A = this chain, B = another copy of it.
Amino acid sequence: MATLKDVAKLAGVSVKTVSNVVNGYDFVKPENRRRVEEALASTGYRPNLGARNLRRGRTGFLGLMLPELSIPYFGELAGLVLQAAQEHEWNVLIEQTLGTREREHNALSALGPHLIDGAIISPEALHTNDFGDLAPGVPLVMLGEHVVDVPIDHVGIDNVQAARIAVRHLLSLGRRRIAAIGAHPQRHTAAQRLEGYHSALQEAGLAPIPDLVLPALRYHRANGAEAMAHLLALPEPPDAVFCFNDLLAIGALRAAAERGVRVPSDMAIVGFDNNEESAYSLPSLTTIAPDKAAIARAAVDLLRRRIAGGSDLEPEDVQTPFSLEIRNSTIA
């Protein structure tokens, strides 16, 4: 593997001159530039990024920590983060936390200060005090969950409002017994979506029915199916369900179909995330559609700002837009 030294020897100039050519420094005699470029080409020189970064004090890597790439939302988001990072010549190191606090903790400390210039983390189980001693000095952006009392940049959507809009949509269709699937004791986003759900009901003058609010330990399809089965076994089943993500909704859809419950006529369903698959389910899924590309861009931009600007900036909380994507699971 050719180094600057090899190229320099071949071209008959100093190492630094080669470095200058490589880095686009202006004042190099045309003759020398030509010779160097020739030598560069003939050796197939590639800069050793490790050495370069050691010297420059940057690594050129961003860390991206998320629960699981196999979850469509995160797969889609990761792809967009990769694109956004690439536009600023960053490579991305992805770490899967599997949603456990321990793994999130590990990921945060393993991607030490020297490995990455900054990190984007989508936490599920992290606690406030996990941030203190970990990765000190590494700029961090949180996605989704907003741990309030830690001064960290955050990107997300207005979950309360989004949930409210979803439920209002169901109300506008005349549904009155509206269930919710996805309550969770620890997850902040779950609490927010629940709040939006409740406030929409209240706006409509409806009393909350505790039996219609179902928890979900995980947000997978199986959990949605299970919850829907439970709802359908109630003496008075709901006529609509708001699921806190699309996977839950897809599971719910299946459980309904298995029991001969027709969607949307007997049961309207709304999801959250707008996974690609949701446009193709049968029926297609009405869902809250966050602007994932905007989230990815905002996260990378916040990191850029903080990496450039230092750590004394006020933490920012960026709210990205979303929309309600109306499909056949609510209107045939």
- The count of residues in chain A whose C-beta lies closer than 8 Å to any C-beta of chain B is 51
Q: B280–A250 contact, CB under 8 A?
A: yes
A29-59 interface with B by 8 A CB criterion: 44, 46-51, 53-54, 59
Query: How far is the CB of A90 from the nearest CB of chain B, in Å?
Result: 11
Q: Which residues of B contact A96 (CB under 8 A)?
A: 79, 82-83
User: How many copies of the shown chain assemble into the complex?
Assistant: 2
Q: Which residues of B contact A301 (CB under 8 A)?
A: none
CA–CA, A136 and B44, complex, Å: 9
CB-defined interface of A72-84 with B at 8 Å, one 1/0 digit per residue?
1011101100110
Is A320 in contact with chain B by the CB < 8 A criterion?
no
Is A324 in contact with chain B by the CB < 8 A criterion?
no
Known: A277-B250, A280-B251, A282-B253. A70 touches B59 (CB 8 A): no
Listed stretches A111-119, A153-161, A177-185, A193-201; interface member: A111-119
Chain B residue nearest to A74 (CB atoms) is B75
A1-55 interface with B by 8 A CB criterion: 1, 44, 46-51, 53-54
Q: Which residues of B contact A112 (CB under 8 A)?
A: 46-47, 49
Is A217 in contact with chain B by the CB < 8 A criterion?
no
Q: Which residues of B contact A137 (CB under 8 A)?
A: 1
What are 6 A-B contacts with C-beta separation under 8 Å? A44-B136, A51-B114, A70-B276, A74-B75, A79-B96, A225-B280
